[in-house]
Amino acid sequence: MLLFSPYQLGQLKLTNRIVMAPLTRSRAIGNQPNELMATYYSQRAGAGVIISEGIAPSPNGLGYARIPGLFSNEQVEGWKRVTNAVHNEGGKIFAQLMHTGRMSHPVNMPAGSTIIAPSAISAGMEMRTDQGMQPLPVPEEMSLSDITQTQTEYIKAAMLAMEAGFDGVEIHGANGYLPEQFLSPYSNVRNDDYGGNIENRCRFVLELAEKVGQSIGFDRAGIRLSPYGVHGGMKYYPELDETYIHLSQGLESLGHLYIHLVDHSGLGAPEVPWRIKTAIRKQFSRILILSGGYTKDKAEKDLASGTADLIAFGKPFINNPDLVKRMENNWPLSDNLDPSTFYSSGEKGYTDWPTFN
């Protein structure tokens, strides 16, 4: 099967075409990667490549409880333990850089940090904190200097990711976080070069992609996108397809390694055709990773048809650390997920899932 065949991802030779999708698990006490996280990722190193959970490039990006950062020497050392553990098991791992933007709450953030976004518009939702669910506040609108500073923080984090031993970096441009907040006219009502028409709303993301690629090499840089996604208060807008086509053309011109596309069809997204997947495939000639509710058979079908080059699996990796072996050998998958442990702390529901016997 193609799903279990080797694949060349930039400079990396993957043992299979299965990607472990990024999964927020909230085990980074004090926003610091730790030995428990190293165990978790090494258990799942059978994936062709792991995309880490979202990692904040600065204190301003730490919107959720106990998510890790990558902006200090201590965090670099913590991530070295994680990447070494994965590499020792023969795996590959990319760092996903995630700035939460307006999807942030002060309870989850360190002193001195600020909730920033393209425009001063709340997502109108509640945020999980260790003090219970809290309404999201209105963010501060980013100044031009804030935009430059934030992009600089991403660049530094990308370079620190290389120092920490990651094999590449993925910009989290999906799920209603800061980059997507620039893309949507519902969260971006600016009247300068970063708002208004499609070209301006894509400017922050394309500048960011260019700067990250220049800092670590475009063959180590990818981006995750989620057209039609509704997470983080995102909504459908008439020029959505045009926006993502323009964005894909820009990423093609830059030479970015891959686009990681999340298919939200049937997952609460608007009832519109998933036509943008085909449109992006036509505009972007490099590697396309598809994610969203995949089974083994559906993954194989999309690889065989050329619809995708790699397939990402998310939740099945939570309770099946040996997911690749299970699928390859037609062993049954565990189906006893416990949502109460998704974002808790400690080993329960995290590193205590057994392999198939």
Torsion angle (degrees, nearest 10) of CA 196, 202, 203, 206:
180
Q: What is the pLDDT of residue 57?
A: 98
**What residues contact 136, with CB distance under 8 A and at least 6 apart?**
102, 103, 104, 105, 122, 123, 124, 125, 126, 127
CATH topology of domain 2-341: TIM Barrel (3.20.20)
Q: What is the pLDDT of residue 357?
A: 79
- Residue 238 tokens read as 């008439």
**What residues contact 338, with CB distance under 8 A and at least 6 apart?**
349
> Rounded to the nearest 10 degrees, what angle do helices 240-254 and 276-283 cross at?
20
Instruction: Collapse the DSSP code of 266 into the 3-class scheme (helix H, G, I; strand E, B; otherwise coil) and give the result.
Output: coil
User: Which residue stretches of the chain are H helix?
Assistant: 35-43, 73-88, 144-163, 178-183, 198-216, 240-254, 276-283, 296-304, 316-319, 323-328
Select from 279, 357, 317, 297 the least CA-distant residue to 3. Answer: 297
Show pLDDT as tens, one digit a residue, over the chain (357 residues). Answer: 999 999 999 999 999 999 999 999 999 999 999 999 999 999 999 999 999 999 999 999 999 999 999 999 999 999 999 999 999 999 999 999 999 999 999 999 999 999 999 999 999 999 989 899 999 999 999 999 999 999 999 999 999 999 999 999 999 999 999 999 999 999 999 999 999 999 999 999 999 999 999 999 999 999 999 998 889 999 999 999 999 999 999 999 999 999 999 976 544 555 555 688 899 999 999 999 999 999 999 999 999 999 999 999 999 999 999 999 999 999 999 988 999 999 999 999 999 999 997
> What residues act catalytically?
177
Pairing of strands 49-55, 18-20: parallel
Give the C-alpha separation, 63 to 101, whole Å: 7
Instruction: Collapse the DSSP code of 133 into the 3-class scheme (helix H, G, I; strand E, B; otherwise coil) and give the result.
Output: strand
* Burial class (CB within 10 angstroms; exposed 0-12, middle 13-18, buried 19+) of 35: exposed
